[in-house]
Chain A
Amino acid sequence: MFSPRSFASLTALAGALIIGFTSCKKEGGNANADEIVIGEVAAMTGGTATFGTSSHAGTQMAIDEINAAGGLLGKKLKLITEDDQSKQGEAGTVAKKLISREKIVALLGEVASGKSLEMGPIAQKAGVPMISPASTNPKVTEVGDYVFRICFIDPFQGTVMAKFAMSRGWKKVAILTDTKQDYSVGLAQFFKEYFAKNGGTITGEQSYGSGDKDFKAQLTAIKAGAPDAIFASGYYNETGLIAAQARELGITAPLLGGDGWDSPSLVEVAGKAIEGSFFSNHFSNEDKSPKIQDFVKRFQAKHGKTPDAMAALGYDSAMILADAIKRAGTTEGKALRDAIATTKDFDGITGKITLDEKRNANKSAVVLTIKDGKFSFVESLAP
């Protein structure tokens, strides 16, 4: 209990740790010359575990398929997955572990933008290329030139939905934004820009904050403008209520939104009111193209369930990395980075992927509608 004792024990413990750790520094790692080691950080447990397990299932499937086809550069791929428990701080630690202990050549992950932001600086400093399958926040790839993503960023969905509205002949659209969410504001801003530039009219702009329950005032104001459609870029919780209240007020115009709608709760809350509305997403397992149906079949055979957007993105992230390793002909960090950066028209499950100079994916989005309480595929839209 006394301080000298405390210090003695602290110093002894620190000493023991240091000796233990430094002595085994040289061993470990992966010296096996017949393997290319790829690291993956995913939330296998905790709050966002559904995202993590899904993307991991897709990534693992891609690695297995590449190995079954003979591997890369004459070597087999080995995927080492670390769980970050959906906890802040863990992603950074496991990224360091993968890089310094396992000597990985590239890092895949994370789905959540917050975790990817933690891993980015570590990968950048170590010169290990990192590919995030699904972090949509624009800031993620701003960390450095070794950090990539293969999903589109938030603002892009606004542009896509504006295009979609134009293609349906809707000239007058009202906007309803969740001002507490960067995501919603970003979508609305880009929707407006594209829509107004191409001859559309915004009949009214209203806002609310996440957690609000009553949207009648905003909807009444929107109704006065008689729009053809309403762009509601918030998340599913509020969107469900908005749809229900809009129908109560006699508004029949369809609602439009982004991937924040992608949850079964949307239909549970809104019921019939959300039928016939549209939103953009990364991937639809109902897309009839043979490539996607083949992927869905293979995934079902392996995992016994239909793949969601995260699984498809996880699969594509590993495939893009494999493609880059093949083109680079080496797994050396700098050359591999350059190869990933020059990915062009990669024919992935989630669309044709081209990485731009900001290391973001330039690719198409799918538009889904709600029909009989289910999300069904409408069309695929190129940027």
Chain B
Amino acid sequence: MKHYKSQLALIVALAVSLGVSLCSSSIDDYYLDIMLNVGINVILAVSLNLVNGHTGQFSLGHAAFMAVGAYGSSIVTLEMGAAMIRVFGGSSWFAEGLTFLIALCVGGLCAALCGWIVGVPSLRLRGDYLAIVTLGFNEIIRVVLQNTSGDGPFGGALGLKGIEPYTNFFWVFATAAIAIYTISALVNSTYGRGFLAVRDDEIAGESMGVNTVRYKVIAFVTGSFFAGLAGGLYAHLRTTISPEGFNFLKSVDVVVMVILGGMGSTVGVILAAVVLTVLNEFLRDFEQYRMIVFSLLLIVMMIVRPQGLLPATVFQRRKQA
């Protein structure tokens, strides 16, 4: 019954996002932009939550996977987009949609592959060491992209421009819904208990026969895949990307959402992603003091609610009662 309910919820979410998307032309451009940013940040936060929250690892390189997804999908639409649209029967919403879907999937899979390559050796490390490795990977991706040739497919330090603006309300929120569904279903399945076991007590888990490295890699690869999708959506929203946009600070932004929302709580993390993105816009009136106000709010929130906005334990306790 529970499974049936969550699948129904997924379908409803997809339908709602399609519905809103169809009338999105009546929404103010600026507000639409904020909503799309919210959606992309939700995907990033929920996917990082699988790694940092549910599985208890500390990754500081989420922006790198986002970068891989952004570049991967943009190169597909820039280099092959026109040809693909021709093959799919000329310029129509169907051909463009299919092209974008393929591009997004390529971006996501590239990111997942990178997640696997980085994850397999480094997830044998614990805690701080993993944080350093992922931080290093983040810098490697950025510096490599920055030093490619300006005329090459990666565009060097200036990045890529002229990316088709395919991203709309439907794509962002449908992806967000799928990300939330997949990750919730994964964590709440029998299989998913393994993630929690890794987080709660790795040694105990291992002695009970849980293959901890395998679980960590799966969490990492899944998280990277969705980060890649978020990157692809971001690139096709902004229409231009450069390596500098995927620096360490971008990773920290996502980590902040996860910690502020409550590690391991999907609802809390979604709430934090929405609050932080919208807050950033509300604080514009403070002009150059904006970041000071923003940081102060973060400090206050962490002092008042160190467990996060909606910690996972709230729901667990309610369930037991």
Chain A residues packing against B (C-beta within 8 Å): 1-11, 13-15, 17-18, 21-22, 25, 44-45, 82-83, 85, 87-89, 92-94, 96-97, 99-101, 113-114, 117-118, 121, 126, 137, 139, 143, 180-182
Contacts and interface: CB of A to CB of B under 8 A. Distances in A.
Q: Among B157, B271, B281, B290, which residue has the most Cβ atoms of chain A within 10 A?
A: B157
Given A1-B315, A3-B181, A6-B184, 20 more contacts: A1-B266, A2-B188, A3-B184, A3-B185, A3-B188, A3-B266, A7-B180, A9-B270, A14-B17, A18-B27, A18-B35, A21-B34, A25-B27, A83-B284, A88-B241, A88-B242, A88-B245, A121-B240, A181-B157, A182-B158
Contacts of A9: 267, 270-271
A7 B316 contact: no
A82 B158 CA distance: 22
A82 to B, nearest CB: 7
Given A1-B315, A5-B267, A139 B27 contact: no
Contacts of B42: 10
Given A18-B27, A88-B241, A118-B238, A3 B37 contact: no
Nearest to A18: B20
B242 A25 contact: no
A96 B284 CA distance: 14
Given A18-B20, A18-B27, A182-B150, A92 B180 contact: no
Contact of B9 (A7, A15, A18, A118): A7
A1 B28 contact: no
Interface residues of B, number: 67
Taking chain A's interface residues, is the majority helix, strand, or loop, or is none over half, making it mixed?
Answer: helix
A11 B35 contact: no
A92 B288 contact: no
B265 A1 contact: yes
B312 interface: yes
A236 B265 CA distance: 49
Contacts of B16: 11, 14-15
B161 interface: yes
A7 B158 contact: no
24 contacts: A1-B267, A2-B184, A3-B180, A3-B181, A3-B266, A7-B12, A7-B13, A7-B181, A8-B9, A17-B35, A17-B278, A21-B32, A21-B35, A25-B26, A45-B288, A85-B291, A88-B244, A88-B246, A89-B234, A89-B238, A99-B29, A100-B29, A114-B240, A182-B158
Interface string B215-243: 00000000000000000001000111110
B201 interface: no
A87 B240 CA distance: 13
B27 A22 contact: yes
B177 interface: yes
Majority DSSP secondary structure for residues of B touching A = helix
A305 B246 CA distance: 35
A336 B173 CA distance: 38
B6 interface: yes
Nearest to B314: A1
B267 to A, nearest CB: 5
Contact of B180 (A6, A114, A126, A139): A6
B30 interface: yes
Interface of B: 2, 5-6, 8-10, 12-13, 16-17, 20, 26-35, 37-38, 42, 147, 150, 156-159, 161-162, 165, 173, 176-177, 180-181, 184-185, 188, 234, 238-242, 244-246, 249, 265-267, 270-271, 274, 278, 281, 284, 287-288, 290-291, 312, 315-316
**Which 10 pairs from chain A and chain B are nearest by CB?**
A88-B245, A7-B9, A21-B31, A3-B184, A3-B6, A100-B29, A182-B150, A1-B315, A97-B30, A100-B30
Contacts of A89: 37, 234, 238, 245
A44 B289 CA distance: 10
B28 A101 contact: yes
Nearest to B7: A3
Contacts of B316: 1
Contacts of A137: 158
A87 B245 CA distance: 7
Contacts of B20: 14, 18
A11 B26 contact: no
Residue with the highest number of chain B CB atoms closer than 10 Å, among A5, A25, A89, A100: A89
Nearest to A185: B150
Q: Name which of A15, A99, A118 has the most chain B CB atoms within 10 A of its CB.
A: A118
Contact of A83 (B281, B287, B315): B287
Contact of B13 (A11, A17, A114): A11
A21 B281 CA distance: 13
Contacts of A45: 288, 290-291
Contacts of B34: 17, 21, 93
Kindly name the residue among A3, A21, A180, A182 whose own CB sees the greatest number of chain B CB atoms within 10 A.
A3
B161 A21 contact: no
Contacts of B26: 22, 25
